[in-house]
Structure 1
Amino acid sequence: MLLSGIIVGLFLGFASGEDGSAGWLRYAPLPHASSYHSIPSSIIALNNTKSSPVYTAQQELHQGIQGIFGKTLSNGTSTGKDGSIIVGTAHAYQKSYGDFDEAGDIEEDGYFLSTEGRQVLILGQNERGALYGAFDYLSRLAQGKLDTVSYVSNPHAPIRWTNEWDNLDGSIERGYAGPSIFFENGFVTGNTTRVAEYARLLASIRINGIIVNNVNANATLLSARNIDGLGRLADAMRPYGVQLGISLNFASPQTFGGLNTFDPLDPTVDAWWANITNQIYARIPDMAGYLVKANSEGQPGPLTYNRSLAEGANMFARAAKPHGGIIMFRAFVYDNHINETNWKADRANAAVEFFRDLDGKFDDNVVVQIKYGPIDFQVREPASPLFSTLRNTSTAIELQVTQEYLGQQTHLVYLAPLWKEILEFDLQADNRSSKVKDIVSGERFRRPLGGSAGVVNVGTNLSWLGSHLAMSNLYAYGLLAWDPALDAEEILQDWIRLTFGHDPKVLETITDMSMKSWPAYENYTGNLGIQTLTDILYTHFGPNPATLDNNGWGQWTRADKFSIGMDRTVKNGTGNAGQYPPAVANVYENIETTPDDLLLWFHHVNYTHRLKSGKTVIQHFYDSHYEGAATAQTLVKQWESLQNKIDGERYEHVLFRQTFQAGHALVWRDSINQFYHNLSEIEDQAKRVGNHPYRIEAEKMTLSGYKTYSVNPFHAASGTTAIVTASNSTVGTATTNVTFESGTYDVAVNYFDLIGGKSQYELQLNNRTIGSWTGDLEDKLGHAPSIYLDGHSATRITFRNITVVKGDLLKISGRPDGIEPAPVDYVSFLPPGIVD
């Protein structure tokens, strides 16, 4: 019996207790590995310096082939090559063995991989390229792709970086996987083991740079102690070909350096930056460069002195150029105090307005880093028009792997399809093909630099991102940065095989879950181009559409009793549509040609406006939110079908998050629908909104030690009201008799889980305990928690297959803790197959 279990485990390709730390580099045993005999018997590495990526490639090949095939390879020498894996640079190969036909086709960071003949050739244009080729070869083997191949693979663009928003105190802005791996207590960490492991993961997906600190930068990063610490980080990453970069605070010469100004045209400021840059490069000769956020969201910048953004960027460019450094200058510049009463005001216009007159004025080593859409990583935005505006400036696309607005790693949202839509979008500049992917590569406008920056925010959590399934987004980001022509579903399936093994059921199920996750999330959050209807003034996690209006941040919906949407036309609105090249502008200007999924981005319409589907806008809202939430329920059942096909630790981890998502999707559904139902006073044709026949509202139960509480925002609670304990030391009870017919039910409790306390709950029927739990999601989920009863803290727990007799006494007991007053919203009795 034990033997059969081992065989099954080998076939499925998982260990009994995996924690996710290996990511997609598990090198699990390949099914029927013993039947594959053509793996070479030795490895010849054409560089044995331990800091060399070629040496790293050799070590990786040893580890990978041992794990996949159980075969130990010897280290060969350059005097022979038959029956060997030869890994190194093309130049080193030519020096030892002579020319090969493909040598001239390999570009910087690219590689040639051939499994033809009696040897395997893995030859990079540089040492980093050789390591990329080794990872590619091992990926193929680990997936069972054992066919003979011979090809050159070159990067689409030279810049393939991650941005980590880590703070020096060890916290991470918009990070959902624990504290920083780079910093602690104001300084660079002393332990770089985790840093090297992260560099290994990034190298395997061909990422070549990391900005290790927050764009909202702390100037003390430039202290002598921290510069030396940054050197240690760079040393740890160098064997993987990953270069370190840092974010800068524009005011550092004044706030840290002791000058009385940070004016970029002041010679003393210019000299100060040149001096500090020389110090950094003396410790880190191969530093990638700087990232700068200036004059945005309160950050200092050149506009303080009436200098242009280009003049500010070029100051850094001059300092870094002698060292080969690149300046990534963020286009995320806008005024966060704009007036919504001005119908022409529009945050979406800011990037073009700030940068269009600067085109061609940036130094050649400056790259303008542009968020993929005009606002801020929303669930759907059009491609930023700035991509087609800057014709004489190198640009890069900024994508967000960390799910700031998109569920914060507690909701499954596979992002590659979203990114693909943007990358493949044709802006038709000068009526020529002008896809975003070809603009940011530098190809379309013949720029020397360009590429991708992905905001990732890994933490000390062993799963790296706080969620095993979210790692598909990091994997996809790297592969799309290398080759944006790749198919999102094919990337996903490669990741599944590498991460969870070869079982066809696992592949099919996770593929289906992931590919429908973005449409589902869009459906139950915000659709028709209205943006993600989250709380933009607080945690960016749960629903609160009212916060998007009546503020200076500019992420407006302009929703009122009769109508909704931003008028961004040239004819009547903000003119944003006119920022696009004419062929695209004409589509967005006309309501008849604007795609429905961007309707409310470009047009202000009545709730009764009919879409191309024939539905009204408001009915589409109602239906989509119900459809999206219903899809979220199916994700739980799909994942449960994989029990015993996924190792226990990762299975339970994902199941917990899918269960949370299913409950929180219902919170989103009810909140958004109730908000617009109240605002528009238009009924849902299906009579669902506000009608919950399976619920018992907690405030309608008999209360002892509990009191009613009006929740704000009102739509975050069913019936607008919840119950909380009368004090933070009072145990509360709520009782009522069950009025539902006798039978078997899933009993769900919606409650609020606040940070700052861990209340304890018990649910009873006729004094028989059917469930108990603790409000401790702040320990189990990495999302940004809330101290309020709101759409962020609203959650549910479900107890399945409970036998209920009509008339049973239902009792909820809540023991408060800290600031958390054991809040409860409602209890649902759900017959089989019913979604609340």
Structure 2
Amino acid sequence: MIFVYLFLSLLAAVATAEDGSRAWLRYAPVPQADNYRSHPSSIIALNSTKSSPVYTAGQELQHGIKGIFGKQLGINGTSNSRPAIIVGTVDAYRKAYGNFDEADGLEEDGFFLSTEGDNVVIVGQNERGALYGAFDYLSRLAQAKFSTVSYVSNPHAPIRWVNQWDNMDGSIERGYAGPSIFFQNGFVVTNTTRVAEYARLLASIRINGIVINNVNANVTLLSSRNMDGLGRLADAMRPYGVQLGISLNFASPQTFGGLSTFDPLDPAVDAWWANITDQIYTRVPDMAGYLVKANSEGQPGPLTYNRTLADGANMFARATKPHGGIVMFRAFVYDNHINETNWKNDRANAAVDFFKDLDGKFDDNVVVQIKYGPIDFQVREPASPLFSTLRKTNTAIELQVTQEYLGQQCHLVYLAPLWKEILEFDMKADDRPSKVKDIISGERFSRPIGGFAAVVNVGTNATWLGSHLAMSNLYAYGIMAWDPAAQSEEVLGSWIRLTFGFNRDVMDTITDMSMKSWPAYENYSGNLGIQTLTDILYTHFGPNPASQDGNGWGQWTRADSFSIGMDRTVKNGTGNAGQYSPAVAQVYENINTTPDNLLLWFHHVNYTQRLKSGKTAIQHFYDAHYEGAATAQTFVKQWESLQGKIDAERYEHVLFRQTYQAGHSLVWRDSINQFYYNLSQIPDEAKRVGNHPYRIEAEKMALSGYRTYAVNPFHTASGYTAIVTTSNSTVGTATANVTFASGTYDVAVNYYDLIGGKARYELSLNNRTIGQWTGDLEDKLGHAPSIYLDGHSATRITFRGVEVNKGDILKIVGKPDGIEPAPIDYISFLPPGVAD
């Protein structure tokens, strides 16, 4: 019997390995499940139509109860059997059981949940609300929250959408988790299984709409075959209450429809869009509506014909209104060829400049979709002043779950605290409380609709986002879109319990890592409000502060040898501070009242400017980058403490990414600090910048088959130089004598992993192999890769606990492959506890 018990335990342990596809809907057995007050004997779903979210709710309840309690419940129609879980709409419940007084408190999509009587009662204002209530009940059970409850839950705003930037060829712009689940080879996919699974995930966090294609839209989506495909996708998502929407290319009447113009005031263009819209709604009667990006980053729009943005938006509004559709019109409108020599020019002013005179001129089914800050999903921005500028226009906030500028799911960055700061920010319009969350809901300015949109970009990767921990951001987005009052750490706690279980060490460790992650990333990627100092001209992934300036994109830092930052004051600068209400503008106009974390956003200062901490701006830069990278190192050890407490598959997957982040954070730290040291010539008071006593620079080793290579940007290589093989078929060897004292070291190799090749490496001491590896991160990480030696491709591998004797011969052999010439930057010999 003991053998059988051990065998079954081992089998169960093996079975618990997970690939992340179930996300937070695992419905795993919970501790002390027997403490639940009673087990209902059946499920009563008050709608048997399979496309109904109420029918789906019954199926979900059956699945969840079986997973959590191991009990199979039958599903019935109307019944008086007790105890039961009853789920349905207000109308269906009244028809079956009589009066329902709680209905008066329900708003659209809202639900009532009660476990007080013999029955569990879940009643939605509509069918979608009933499904949300079922998911909420199951979430409570899955978190072992067995207390008796009775409450109404209503959404903060009616629009809770996600945007996918999927392309017709199956690629995803700013997607880091594999190809599209919606498109392949120019057409809508035939198999919609994965689409339905995604809709289920979205419904569980109360998302009610999804725009499935890139805002840089392809006109071929409007072909007859693809419109038929839209119907197929909508059918797959309808049982989960997730409505389909699409992005449109403004020039479609001309480039696709054969008209001579796409002028929104031309009657032929107006009629063309009305006809196309009718065709789509014939296939998708409940389509949510359209998303439009116009006159931004080279996209066509109404300004081509000297029409207003409102003229363009209202054209689509007229087409969708008979069908009950919404037009989300992006406020991301700016000129990407701005003249940098004019110090009054400022991309941050663009949204208000373009939209302020249009307030009140948009139709009631138009919603202006505003990015949370004035630039573009940076690690820190002030709330967009457009939120308080538009008083007579519906608005929605645009957030980004996919970490475009924030580590692309290869760096842990829990985003809920960032979003929370923006949503809670008081714009003080008319000196009245005007929090962003209350503006976008429509409450503050009495608008009929508004809400949330988030760019998500899930792909075919089993983890959905390419990273298990990144899924906390999708979960948090849904929860906070429903209730912005939710606290970031509490939301995180729910996600951890649902995703990883109840182990206290797991809970505490992931909470600590996640809550430290945004401050850490901000510290080593761009602080004091300078924006994320990534390469804005290429992949948006690794460091390249110089790329911000010297171009027309307007993400300028205006850094020179003496000073840094944008002067956005009214008195001397671009006037951006004056776009806010007087009470807010007064704070940002004054350097003494501007928070330090936005100092360089609003003010151009000398590197020696003293902060409120007493440090100079440049010393803060140095210190922050070291502190942020040091925090990233601790994430590895913290995660390693969870070995055996999380299934091996997910443990190894996360460990790999945390190890990568630890190495790449050092690339960021050294690159940014070296750049600003070279620019300012002001030394680091701690003498760390440019001083690396544990390194052996590859270019200083004896080389055979290798040659030196000047890396560009220069600061993305230690000593500005790396080595590459002399040809793409030559094996390179680099050797050196170890000059460090004998002892035990962690030996780290910094190298470059380019897409287009998979070089192989071998590291040895006195011909004793220490490690071998392949440059294949492009197959493992999902970030936007690089074909160059730069801050995107720079990475590190570490071999721990290596016994080293002074005088040992260090040798590294690189075998190039494809375009990858086995590039190496340096080798570090790190004593215990040293992070280079």
1:758-786 deviation line (CA, Å, top 9, x unaligned): 00000000001000000000000100000
SS in 2 for 1:273: helix
- The aligned counterpart of 2:661 is 661
Distance 1:520 1:604 in 2: 24
- The aligned counterpart of 2:255 is 255
Distance 1:512 1:192 in 2: 38
- AA aligned to 2:826 is Y
Q: After superposition, where does 1:464-503 map in structure 2 within 5 Å?
A: 464-503=464-503
Distance 2:764 2:354 in 1: 61
- The aligned counterpart of 2:797 is 797
- AA aligned to 1:31 is P
Kept in 1, the 8 Å contact 2:47–2:77? The answer is no
- The aligned counterpart of 1:820 is 820
- The aligned counterpart of 1:702 is 702
Q: After superposition, where does 1:292-691 map in structure 2 within 5 Å?
A: 292-691=292-691
Q: After superposition, where does 1:37-186 map in structure 2 within 5 Å?
A: 38-186=38-186
Kept in 1, the 8 Å contact 2:766–2:810? The answer is yes
Kept in 2, the 8 Å contact 1:116–1:150? The answer is yes
SS in 2 for 1:516: helix
The 3 A distance-change label for structure 1 pair 572 and 295 is: same
Q: Is 1:740 the equivalent of 2:746?
A: no
Distance apart, 1:32 and its partner CA: 2.8
- The aligned counterpart of 1:199 is 199
Distance 1:145 1:760 in 2: 51
The 3 A distance-change label for structure 1 pair 488 and 5 is: farther
Distance apart, 1:547 and its partner CA: 0.4
1:425-465 deviation line (CA, Å, top 9, x unaligned): 00000000000000000000000010000000000000000
Kept in 2, the 8 Å contact 1:467–1:654? The answer is yes
SS in 1 for 2:113: strand
Distance apart, 1:357 and its partner CA: 0.1
Kept in 2, the 8 Å contact 1:14–1:28? The answer is no
SS in 2 for 1:801: strand
- AA aligned to 1:580 is Y
Kept in 1, the 8 Å contact 2:37–2:146? The answer is no
Distance apart, 1:91 and its partner CA: 1.2
Distance 2:39 2:106 in 1: 25
Distance apart, 1:585 and its partner CA: 0.3
**Long gaps (5+) in structure 2:** none
Distance 1:154 1:82 in 2: 28
Kept in 2, the 8 Å contact 1:562–1:606? The answer is yes
Distance apart, 1:537 and its partner CA: 0.3
The aligned length equals 834
- AA aligned to 1:209 is G
The 3 A distance-change label for structure 1 pair 9 and 405 is: farther
SS in 1 for 2:621: helix
- AA aligned to 1:814 is G
Distance 2:33 2:69 in 1: 5
Distance apart, 1:78 and its partner CA: 1.7
The TM-score, its normalising length taken from structure 1, stands at: 0.99
Distance apart, 1:81 and its partner CA: 4.7
Distance apart, 1:337 and its partner CA: 0.4
Kept in 1, the 8 Å contact 2:520–2:628? The answer is yes
Distance 2:107 2:232 in 1: 30
Distance 2:583 2:789 in 1: 47
Distance apart, 1:494 and its partner CA: 0.1
**Long gaps (5+) in structure 1:** none
Kept in 2, the 8 Å contact 1:14–1:501? The answer is no
- AA aligned to 2:21 is S
Distance 1:359 1:103 in 2: 36
Kept in 2, the 8 Å contact 1:14–1:500? The answer is no
- The aligned counterpart of 2:811 is 811
1:99-137 deviation line (CA, Å, top 9, x unaligned): 123110010000000000100000000000000000000
Kept in 1, the 8 Å contact 2:696–2:827? The answer is yes
SS in 1 for 2:771: strand
- AA aligned to 1:59 is Q
Distance 1:39 1:148 in 2: 13
Distance apart, 1:8 and its partner CA: 9.8
Distance apart, 1:76 and its partner CA: 3.5
Distance 2:79 2:498 in 1: 35
Q: Is 1:834 the equivalent of 2:834?
A: yes
Distance 2:803 2:486 in 1: 51
Question: Which segment drifts farther, 456-465 or 23-32?
Answer: 23-32
Distance 1:623 1:739 in 2: 29
Distance apart, 1:74 and its partner CA: 1.8
Distance apart, 1:7 and its partner CA: 6.4
- AA aligned to 2:602 is F
Aligned-pair identity (%): 82
- AA aligned to 2:542 is G
The 3 A distance-change label for structure 1 pair 5 and 581 is: farther
SS in 1 for 2:236: helix
Kept in 1, the 8 Å contact 2:349–2:576? The answer is yes
Distance 1:5 1:717 in 2: 52
The 3 A distance-change label for structure 1 pair 651 and 488 is: same
- AA aligned to 1:49 is T
Distance 1:712 1:139 in 2: 50
Distance 1:599 1:32 in 2: 51
1:513-549 deviation line (CA, Å, top 9, x unaligned): 0000000000000000000000000000000000000
1:797-832 deviation line (CA, Å, top 9, x unaligned): 000000001000000000000000000000000000
Distance 1:75 1:605 in 2: 68
Q: Over the residues paired in the alignment, what is the CA RMSD in angstroms?
A: 1.1
Kept in 1, the 8 Å contact 2:90–2:125? The answer is yes
Kept in 1, the 8 Å contact 2:737–2:810? The answer is yes
SS in 1 for 2:116: coil
Distance apart, 1:17 and its partner CA: 1.5
Kept in 2, the 8 Å contact 1:15–1:647? The answer is no
Distance 1:8 1:524 in 2: 43
Distance apart, 1:96 and its partner CA: 1.2
Kept in 2, the 8 Å contact 1:610–1:616? The answer is yes
Kept in 2, the 8 Å contact 1:327–1:366? The answer is yes
Distance 1:78 1:7 in 2: 41
- The aligned counterpart of 1:286 is 286
SS in 2 for 1:740: coil
- The aligned counterpart of 1:21 is 21
Distance 1:546 1:283 in 2: 49
- AA aligned to 1:824 is I
Distance 1:580 1:150 in 2: 42
- The aligned counterpart of 1:720 is 720
Distance 1:109 1:81 in 2: 28
- AA aligned to 1:320 is T
Distance apart, 1:36 and its partner CA: 3.2
Q: After superposition, where does 1:200-239 map in structure 2 within 5 Å?
A: 200-239=200-239
Distance 1:186 1:526 in 2: 39
- AA aligned to 2:221 is L
SS in 1 for 2:598: helix
Distance 1:719 1:792 in 2: 17
SS in 1 for 2:28: coil
Kept in 1, the 8 Å contact 2:738–2:806? The answer is yes
Distance 2:652 2:117 in 1: 45
- AA aligned to 1:751 is Y
- AA aligned to 1:591 is I
The 3 A distance-change label for structure 1 pair 7 and 503 is: farther
